[in-house]
């Protein structure tokens, strides 16, 4: 009986791990125009600072922050392409240096050159 419970617990933990990995992977697959930026840590205060920094920028239609996934999704205005370097620098300037940036211009794990 005890062995069965332990085995069930191990299986449940494994399933939770896989589900979490799938969710994290889905979080970094943007649409053709969106840019998704992963940051190390994010709290409610971070969301306010990130939103206040990015929303007023030219060409940005929407900014969505996901606390659980620690991601920022940036949606451009129609027919606009956002500069990955500009987005990276904007977050860096408020102390939220990106861990990874994925968008139409490619995937970056360090500051893009353009």
| Cα–Cα distance for residue pair 46/25, rounded to 1 Å | 22
pLDDT category of residue 62 using cuts at 50, 70 and 90: very high
The third-level CATH classification (topology) of the domain covering 30-108 is Alpha-Beta Plaits (3.30.70)
User: Residue 114 has what pLDDT?
Assistant: 82
User: Residue 32 has what pLDDT?
Assistant: 84
**Domain locations in the chain as residue ranges:** 30-108
End-to-end CA, the chain: 61
């Amino acid at each position: 009986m005890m062995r069965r419970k332990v085995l069930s617990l191990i299986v449940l933990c494994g399933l939770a791990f896989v589900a979490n990995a799938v969710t994290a992977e889905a979080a970094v697959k943007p649409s053709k125009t969106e840019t998704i930026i992963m940051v190390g840590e994010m709290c409610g205060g971070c969301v306010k600072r990130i939103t206040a920094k990015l929303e007023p920028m030219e060409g940005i239609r929407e900014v969505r922050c996901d606390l659980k996934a620690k991601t920022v999704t940036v949606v451009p205005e129609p027919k606009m392409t956002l500069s990955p370097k500009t987005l990276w620098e904007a977050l860096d300037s408020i102390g939220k240096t990106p861990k990874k940036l994925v968008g139409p211009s490619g995937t970056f794990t360090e500051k893009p050159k353009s």
